[in-house]
Amino acid sequence: MIGFFNAFTKITGWPVQFICFRTKTYYEDKLRQNRCIRGPAILICNHTSVFDYAVLMFVFFSRTLRFQMAELLFRKRGLGTLLKMLGGIYVDRNSHDVGCIAKSEAILRKGGIIGVFPEGRLPKEGESRPLPFKSGAAYLALSTGAPIIPVYTNGCYFKKKRAKVIIGVPIDASDCIDHDMTERENIQRVTDAMRKRVIELGELLDEYGE
């Protein structure tokens, strides 16, 4: 049912999103990762706007993205229902409930795609971007073996300039670990590697956009 509703939303919403975003997609290495994702994966992206999810949903048109989303969004009448129908994963940032991690892990083991904004929230004015990354995506990658696909968006929505997104080469979390370190230390190593890659993609997108 979630897959059907995603397909319906993408088909009917395509003209609207084209007008609002006019997204241009770039690639770090198109041969190694393009817009077609095969098998399970963890999609990570910098967070610029509540519309980031909508943009990525259309960039990766052929797959259903099950994004982790903050409780605040689900509490909005109408929007919360829509997000549930699209397969959004409820994340309560004010509790220690790990239900979202368990649900995400189950989806990955069934071959699905989990989307995560590792910053955990939108940056406030004056804050350095991207914010420090949370460790949930790194934990999922190490526990399931799913590749991490880094993405960067310029967040240029509803403007004369086009939205620009760059898709990076997948990260294998196992390449980042040190067997002499603890699990927690290795999760942090993977988390740091993820943030570094997203920053590098942002710099690369700036070069492509010149």
pLDDT digits (tens, 9 = 90+) for 109-154: 999 999 999 999 999 988 889 999 999 999 999 999 999 999 999 9
**Mapping DSSP to helix (H, G, I), strand (E, B) and coil, where does residue 193 land?**
helix
Neighbours of 159 (CB within 10 A): 11
For residue 163, which amino acid is it?
A
Chain-wide mean pLDDT for the chain?
94
**Token digits of residue 120:** 């955990």
User: What is the share, in percent, of the chain residues with pLDDT greater than 90?
Assistant: 82
Asked whether residue 210 carries a pLDDT value surpassing 60, the answer given is no
pTM over 0.85: yes
52: left (phi over 0), alpha (psi -120 to 50) or beta: alpha
Q: Which two tokens stand for residue 141?
A: 């990658």
Q: What is the pLDDT of residues 20-74, one digit of tens each?
A: 999 999 999 999 999 999 999 999 999 999 999 999 999 999 999 999 999 888 8
What per-residue confidence (pLDDT) applies to 198? Answer: 98
User: φ and ψ at 26, to 5 degrees?
Assistant: -115, 170
Q: What is the pLDDT of residues 148-172, one digit of tens each?
A: 999 999 999 998 889 999 999 999 9
Cβ pair 135, 187 in contact under 8 A: yes
pLDDT in tens, 59-113: 999 999 999 999 888 888 888 899 999 999 999 888 777 889 999 999 999 999 9
- Which residue in the block uniquely carries the two structure tokens 């997609």? 25
Number of residues assigned to the chain? 210
